[in-house]
Structure 1
């Protein structure tokens, strides 16, 4: 209660009820849930109120993300060809304005270079169109992943055709490349692609191995430095508590994948941001064809806000850092989503529509009343 005898609002602009209000309204009475007809006790109501209050506190901070990004987010590692249009719509609603799709394997090893040609063409072509139809700017990285580098004939063929894609519009990096089992064939492909990145003046996105991660991460950075690659132009991805210190100490961008069970949860991410600060730290979803969450970045932003991490720090981790490194070759620019083209879902790509009978979304141009035509 405040001095006027009215309930003190713990969450300004949102909730005014507190445990006292719940006690006054319900005392020892239970109520029936309108959804399932189950019983809701006063204690359950208090718990729900507390949880809702925590969410609103986080959202209040989240809404205060500084200007320049205006609360917008980038997911700089998302395998969107494996996701649905519903995912694009949900990501746009959550504040994601841009995604970067790195080339990787498809769950099954490919057997000929033609499948890579089609794949690279898709992520540099149709997928950019599809994302744009739902209000998200799509970029990509081109590379030979380490898992498929262990087929030497295929690897050589893929390396031969990669240069035709590295200069395409929307390609912001070479990746994701690195080690899987840390074989000599993987090492050979990694070194060849580092040389390509230098030639095409592209940043690199590194995939760190799931097994023996610490040794593999150190080995990767050693190779990058042997090849003369600038750490300030390289993102080391899929980090954890074992690798973060060395990656930052050696001057690389340090990315964390919020991926259920196998990589990193966002509570651990919040702890890392609290410990190390936001400099050169990036968060992504790596959402793909497996169990993964395309909303991992906005969920992480809200969780960090609820943990008391400042809006400026969150902005840096979920937006500004990714833009800084992946914007180095100028293919990715803030103006692309701050001054976007209007969405017109009547538009076709090679005669194909993203719609299946739905009414197309057509954004009308907002006319400036001060312009005399």
Structure 2
């Protein structure tokens, strides 16, 4: 079946056509299911415990906005099996899809994933979507780690990297900029130099998915939507310029409702460092930008900068930063949605015929 035929076939379908409901589960019930399925395993639950009431409140507030900010697709079988998938608005036209959980059903996982993709096709308002997964998760690695091959590099991107919690006390104590360059916090307008750096580091898919080709770097319009229910979503950006005025590195500090993602990826700090810098320059750029970006996290409850990076950060680990885990990031543009639908459908078809790997739950 061609891409256009897939798009036409699914463009008019609704959640119920897949046997799914949207935002039907109150967060308390959803979180209870997470725990019973061990998606929310004891160690992670303990890590979230100091912030649990705030996380619950944030999910409850977002639910008041319907599908505008945050949606949870769920599927229930008569025999007790269930599955769910959630997604939240990350940028103007970008969504972060996460928390795929399936317990006692293969059909449920297939249903929520296909329904979610079909609805996004039907809406025709997205620019891109993304998710983050552990490379050790075999299903996620197979489903999303292969998208550049299945969807094409012009429409998708896979970025392996590390995710590290840098305590604010450490970030604030990092050495000053010195001779590495000049750090400037960017205003809300467009910054072609930043977009060019992002293209050199990650490519055009990343630029579009993160809205770096727009004139609202601080996500002010998105923040207005979140404020409707008493939440915030914004971004601050620091750029490191060399003596010639070229942007050599940047830190993109995202702030959002704590616990939208149970690894706090809604509050991550993306670090971009230009290719070709030597190791000393990379370290100086990293430290300099962290020292600047920590100002965006002064009121962040875990008192750390959640740093997402593809550059070496061993010196930060040695200095006391916590390595959370390796994370791989998958991004795909809206024009690839029908192909992703077909890709996911084929994976589940293989599993239904006894091939492939499907874990009990995946993030």
TM class by smaller structure = under 0.3
Give the structure-2-normalised TM-score. 0.25
Higher share of residues assigned strand: 2
Q: Which has the higher contact order (CA 8 A, sep 6+)?
A: 2
